[in-house]
Chain A
């Protein structure tokens, strides 16, 4: 194991996979940066510093710096994948699925099905999502709610640097199109990371980050850390929380959730997207359908409100599920009689 940041885990995995497989190519806006400027190539290396040095190592054919044309980037990724390559495309902000969704949703997600199973589309679409930077309504959204409901896509939401490593490597080696959602507030977080060049985490396998047995908390991404904080606080009171990091929302590890709820009988799902038709409402419904007899309290979702993401510090803080809100929800399901 070696200690590195979330963003370093992304870059090092891309380098390792590009070195291993000549079919892996990357494309996106400013992933080289400085093209056509006095400063020259590699002035940026991606606005998230997740592609520094790739251009020098692998050249312009495999490291494609693109114009600001998100539909064309997603479409080119689709075409590269259909033609036999393994594109890793970067959508600078997840919010930009708004201008490029057709190529993701109507094209790459559906090729295999529409074409009768006779093709594959091994594309990875990396995108930075989430609030916490006061970047306001068009640069802060959590978009898994939209993408998880699309058949044909896999949706990955790593929380830790080690999960970035195993899940991104799996995504690049996967033969289906994968949406890889990177929380922008986690890029600078650090952790121990596997050095095994074949370390992969299969999709649909959640990670139990805290084991307690009294209540089940399900989350992923930035908010998982807040759930862990609540679990640690309650542990001091002798209350045990199972904290489940979903890692992927499509496929979803239903078994891990149901197994935990069958023991605890109490469920809180903490989700960064608004409440309607959300990951939280979906998981609560699944548990109500499949583990009703185990439940000791109504399952509870903790989401932001049904509003756009606001700008001002006070407003954004009020928008995101806080430690206090998560704690209140957990205490509510614990106290239900």
Chain B
């Protein structure tokens, strides 16, 4: 299906926002201004955006420790997220969550998650809620090739099949579970989707570095799941441009690997080539967006640095609604 000019511009912008948000974090983390652990999503933008551009705010997603891309793609505020990662009380979670716990439930973003594999059962719960409501909404669990080895993920897949829940398990195979290769850690012959299939659900596979592959795949998957056929799973083959966490020396990478994947598997470069090659958008269109996004990120950092800091009294609030 041919996307409109507006849809193409929007998709590119969303991917670019994620890319620049994280490239900037990569730089700022080295200055010591940002506390804690940060796991960058860079390289996988086509998956988050290709999936979320096909969702509404009534559809839910549950994310991972590598969650910035999913959050931004589902509509979390750029300034609020940047302020959160800088630990400000003006952040999306008042500085109480940080990089690994960003959420905006009103937007259908039910949380990044610091526990690998914890998200899939939560997504099944949200899917069961959607099933009760009967309005064709879905819930999506983003998982990596690491989380695909957690028992929670297995339990969630069987649970979803048994209850015919409108859940979609998206496996972003970036080839590394933390610092270990998927060829070692995934026993099913480097194949995650076949595992999901073995649980009794329909599966798809797509190229997670190609927005158009993700977009087309998700149209089919969503049509199937929204129609009430039960859960589905998709494996997207993708790339992680940075380490497991910021500061990871990445001694597990092969010679020239990072340069090669940045050159040949960059979803933004591939998008640009496709749309300019097909005459749908011009380089000038995209260059203008690039400049706009860079300015937006710069503004977000300036605001985050200037934002109010939390105080000791803030430790004590938001534990309970009443106690």
Chain A contact residues, CB within 8 Å of chain B? 25, 27, 61-62, 64, 66-67, 69, 71-85, 87, 102-103, 106-107, 111-120, 151-152, 154, 174-176, 204, 251
Q: Cβ of A82: which chain B residues have Cβ within 8 Å of it?
A: 60, 105, 110-111, 122, 125-126
Please determine whether A66 and B104 come into contact, CB atoms closer than 8 angstroms. no
Bound complex: CA of A80 vs CA of B133, how far in Å? Answer: 11
- Find out whether the CB atom of A115 lies under 8 angstroms from the CB atom of B111: yes
Identify 25 residue pairs between A and B in the complex whose beta-carbon atoms are under 8 Å apart, listed by A's number.
A67-B159, A69-B155, A71-B151, A72-B124, A75-B118, A75-B125, A76-B125, A79-B122, A79-B127, A80-B128, A82-B110, A83-B110, A103-B152, A107-B115, A111-B111, A114-B101, A114-B111, A115-B105, A116-B91, A116-B96, A116-B318, A117-B94, A117-B96, A118-B103, A204-B323
Query: Chain B, interface size: which category?
Result: 35 or more
Is B125 a contact of A107 with CB atoms below 8 Å?
no
B115, B155, B323, most chain A CB atoms within 10 A? B155
> Are B129 and A114 closer than 8 Å at their CB atoms?
no
In the complex, the answer to whether B125 meets A66 with C-beta atoms within 8 Å is: no
Q: Do B130 and A76 have beta carbons less than 8 Å apart?
A: no
For residue B208, CB closer than 8 A to chain A, the reply is no
Residue of chain B at shortest CB distance from A108: B122
Q: Do the beta carbons of A78 and B121 come within 8 Å of each other?
A: yes
On chain A, the residues within 8 Å of B297 by CB distance are none
**Known A69-B158, A79-B139, A117-B96; further 10 A-B contacts with Cβ < 8 A:** A64-B163, A76-B124, A79-B122, A82-B110, A107-B118, A113-B318, A114-B103, A114-B111, A117-B317, A175-B322
In the complex, residue of chain B having the shortest beta-carbon distance to the beta carbon of A119: B105
Contact B93 A61 (CB under 8 A): no
Residue-wise, chain B 281-292 has the 8 Å CB interface mask toward A (1 for contact) of 000000000000
Q: Is the CB of A79 within 8 A of B121?
A: yes
Contact partner of A75 among B60, B96, B124, CB < 8 A?
B124
| Residues of B with C-beta under 8 A to A151 | 319
The one of A61, A75, A112, A113 in contact with B156, judged by C-beta atoms closer than 8 angstroms, is A75
Which residue from B129, B132, B319 sits with its C-beta under 8 Å from A79? B129
User: How many residue pairs, one in A and one in B, have C-beta atoms under 8 Å apart?
Assistant: 158
Q: Distance (Å) between the CB of A175 and the closest chain B CB?
A: 4
Contact across chains for A74 and B121 when beta carbons are under 8 A apart: yes
Given A74-B121, A106-B118, A115 and B97 contact (CB-CB distance below 8 Å): yes
User: A72, B101: Cβ atoms under 8 Å?
Assistant: no
**A-facing residues in B71-120 (Cβ within 8 Å):** 91-97, 101, 103-106, 110-111, 113-115, 118, 120
| CB pair A85 B129 closer than 8 Å | yes
Closest to B132 in A: A61
Whether B120 and A80, one on each chain, are in contact in the complex, defined by CB atoms closer than 8 angstroms, is no
- A116 and B94 contact, CB distance less than 8 A: yes
A25 neighbours in B (Cβ, 8 Å):
128, 132
- Chain B residue at minimal CB-CB distance from A106: B115
Q: B132 and A102: CB pair below 8 A? A: no
Q: A71-B151, A175-B322 are in contact. Are A116 and B125 (CB under 8 A)?
A: no
CB interface residues, B 137-196, toward A, < 8 Å: 139, 151-152, 155-156, 158-159, 162-163
Q: Which residues of B contact A119 (CB under 8 A)?
A: 103, 105
Given contacts A72-B124, A80-B129, A85-B132, A175 and B60 within 8 Å (CB-CB):
no
When the two chains form their complex, are residues A118 and B322 in contact, meaning their CB atoms are under 8 A apart?
A: no
Q: Complex: how many Å from CA A27 to CA B124?
A: 13
Question: Are A118 and B93 in contact, with the CB atoms below 8 A?
Answer: yes
Given known contacts A113-B318, A114-B101, A79 and B155 CB-to-CB distance under 8 angstroms: no
